[in-house]
């Protein structure tokens, strides 16, 4: 589990490609990285398989992950957002991020708003259904607040503001129209949808015709 608050911007040192998976070696300044640690690389949760001097590390990227994220576009010299897994009991200053990418989003347009950048993205409607105004979203691993959402057929559009601090401390300042990003919606919406569809009683899930409704909640004392 992560928070979406980027700790460092790393640089891809090498990319070793094979038919089944890729091996990425990343240079960064992390101290104390260990084998088996979870690190979010531009929003994708990956496992450290090799520790490199001066805080660098290597991670394996499966074929399945390459197909659903932008990691397949990485090459040596590319910059990536990095965050180590949240420690139990640690401060949660961003929002709960799993590092499981829902979709690849397309950067639609970018417009200056004072010192900030208003940025619009386009995603499939299957993901857009979980995006709400003033809700949280992770773009390339960065926790951001949604400004507006517009649904149209099979696609959804949403906007966020990139404040100067986020522009300085992450890779998002390099976004351009037509670029692609990893998008993870707020997981709470998905859980709520699932519960409403199936319902629950006395701590044991059971399928109920019509799902969880107001009458059922009143019966249970809510």
pLDDT tens per residue, range 132-191: 999 999 999 999 999 999 999 999 999 999 999 999 999 999 999 999 999 999 888 888
Q: Is 87 exposed, middle or buried (0-12, 13-18, 19+ CB in 10 A)?
A: exposed
pLDDT of residue 220: 77
pLDDT at position 210 over 60: no
Q: State yes or no: pLDDT of 29 exceeds 50.
A: yes
98/133 Cα distance (integer angstroms): 21
38 vs 186: which has the higher pLDDT: 38
Output the pLDDT for position 37.
95
Q: Specify the range with the lowest mean pLDDT, choosing from 3-7, 52-56, 88-92.
A: 88-92
Q: Which residue has the higher pLDDT, 137 or 90?
A: 137
pTM: 0.85
Record the tokens describing residue 86, joined without a space: 């949240």
The pLDDT value given to residue 201:
47
Q: If you average pLDDT over every residue of the chain, what do you get?
A: 89
Q: Which of 36-40, 91-95, 190-194, 205-209 has the lowest mean pLDDT?
A: 205-209
pLDDT of residue 70: 97
- Domain annotation for the chain: domains and CATH numbers: 8-84 (2.40.30.20), 103-185 (2.40.30.20), 188-222 (no CATH)
Is the confidence at residue 43, as pLDDT, over 60?
yes
The string of DSSP codes covering the chain is -B-S---EEEEEEEEEE-SSEEEEEEE---SS--TT-EEEETTEEEEEEEEEGGGEEEEEEEHHHHHHSSGGG--TT-EEEEEEPPPTT----S--B-S---EEEEEEEEEEETTEEEEEEEEEHHHHTT--TT-EEEETTEEEEEEEEEEETTEEEEEEEE-HHHHHHSGGGG--TT-EEEEEE-HHHHHHHHHHHH-EETTEE---TT-S-HHHHHHTT-
Indicate whether 205 pLDDT > 50: no
pLDDT of residue 79: 98
Model confidence at 212, in pLDDT bands (50, 70, 90)?
Answer: low
């Amino acid at each position: 589990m992560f928070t979406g608050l980027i700790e460092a911007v790393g640089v891809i040192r090498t990319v070793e490609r094979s038919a089944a998976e890729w091996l990425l070696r990343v240079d960064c300044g992390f101290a104390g990285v260990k084998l088996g640690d979870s690190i979010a690389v531009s929003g994708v949760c990956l496992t450290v398989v090799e520790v490199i001097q001066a805080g660098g590390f290597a991670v394996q990227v499966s074929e399945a992950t390459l197909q659903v994220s932008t990691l397949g576009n990485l090459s040596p010299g590319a910059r990536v957002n990095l965050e180590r897994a949240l420690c139990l009991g640690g401060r949660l200053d961003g929002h709960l991020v799993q590092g499981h990418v829902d979709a690849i989003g397309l950067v639609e347009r970018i417009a200056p708003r004072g010192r900030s950048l208003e940025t619009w993205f386009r995603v499939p409607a299957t993901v857009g259904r979980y995006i709400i105004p003033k809700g949280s979203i992770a773009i390339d691993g960065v926790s951001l607040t949604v400004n507006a959402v517009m649904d149209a057929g099979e696609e959804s559009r949403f906007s966020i503001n990139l404040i100067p601090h986020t522009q300085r401390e992450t890779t998002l300042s390099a976004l351009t129209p037509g670029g692609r990003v990893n998008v993870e919606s707020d997981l709470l919406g998905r859980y709520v949808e699932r519960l409403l569809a199936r319902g629950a009683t006395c701590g044991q899930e059971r399928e109920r015709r019509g799902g969880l409704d107001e009458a059922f909640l009143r019966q249970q004392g809510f």
